[in-house]
């Protein structure tokens, strides 16, 4: 059953690559750089879940299965999602906030490393301390998304600012699921099995990697179609 979920994920990522590639052929005023980021996310993520579906990418650590391929996926796809959010926040502005994006990626790196280190830790005190640090880093990441990056977004026309707000809200809600599922799974308190945790991560990641990009790009394309989008 777990393998079936993984193959479903691979299929969803392949569908995302096809969809965003087709949209890129008819960009409707949205820069192709935004499509390239959207394509890269499911392409990278789908590859590593293909590794999992083929029976690799795991290791037995601290009494549970560590899906290390999932962390390799997150190491690249999560920063790309933040880059995509930044591109929406600065869509019609003359420059990009690469310094702020670096801070976002840095905070995300702390979240990622704390999650991985916590899974590797055999001592419960160390594990939950690392988990807490990761959650605090995630809160700091939210502070950047809803603080300075949102301020940049609201320098743009009202329609684009609204797209940013929707995209930032959806990403923020979806990302809450990762620490929650981690905590209730075998690496945390063990309320649900490894198979159930795998399913939850698969569904959540489909929404995050493909569903979120459909919302983000789809809303920008709709604005462009109504001649409300100015591309610099």
**pTM, 2 dp:** 0.92
Give the pLDDT confidence score for residue 231 in this predicted structure: 43
Tokens representing residue 138 in the block: 């995630």
Give the pLDDT confidence score for residue 225 in this predicted structure: 65
**Segments making up each domain of the chain, as ranges:** 2-225
The stretches in the chain having pLDDT less than 50 are 1, 228-232
Compute CA distances 198 → 5, 6, 25, 43, whole Å.
Answer: 8, 8, 34, 20
Residue pLDDT, tens place only, 30-74:
999 999 999 999 999 999 999 999 999 988 886 778 889 999 999
CB half-sphere exposure, 47, CA atoms < 13 A: 10
What stretch of H or E contains 99? helix 98-120
**Domain 2-225: CATH architecture, name and number where available:** Up-down Bundle (1.20)
Tokens representing residue 139 in the block: 């809160």
Tokens representing residue 202 in the block: 């698969």
Locate the DSSP E strands across the chain: 59-61, 64-66
Give the pLDDT confidence score for residue 170 in this predicted structure: 97
Give the pLDDT confidence score for residue 69 in this predicted structure: 94
């Amino acid at each position: 059953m777990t393998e079936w979920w993984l193959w479903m994920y691979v299929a969803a990522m392949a569908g995302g690559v096809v969809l965003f590639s087709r949209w890129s052929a008819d960009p409707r005023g949205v820069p192709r750089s935004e499509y390239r980021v959207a394509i890269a996310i499911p392409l990278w993520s789908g590859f590593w879940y293909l590794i999992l579906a083929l029976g690799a990418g795991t290791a037995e650590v601290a009494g549970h299965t560590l899906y290390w391929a999932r962390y390799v996926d997150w190491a690249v796809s999560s920063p790309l999602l933040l880059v995509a959010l930044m591109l929406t926040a600065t869509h019609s502005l003359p420059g990009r906030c690469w310094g702020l994006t670096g801070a976002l990626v840095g905070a995300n790196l702390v979240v990622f490393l704390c999650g991985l280190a916590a899974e590797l830790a055999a001592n419960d005190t160390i594990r939950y301390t690392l988990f807490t640090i990761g959650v605090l880093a995630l809160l700091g990441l939210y502070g950047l998304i809803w603080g300075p990056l949102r301020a940049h977004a609201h320098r743009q026309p009202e329609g684009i600012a609204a797209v940013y707000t929707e995209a930032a809200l959806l990403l923020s809600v979806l990302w809450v699921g990762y620490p929650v599922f981690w905590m209730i799974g075998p690496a945390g308190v063990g309320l649900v099995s490894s198979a159930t945790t795998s399913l939850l991560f698969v569904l959540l990641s489909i929404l995050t990697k493909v569903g979120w990009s459909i919302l983000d790009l789809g809303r920008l394309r709709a604005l462009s179609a109504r001649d409300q989008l100015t591309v610099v």
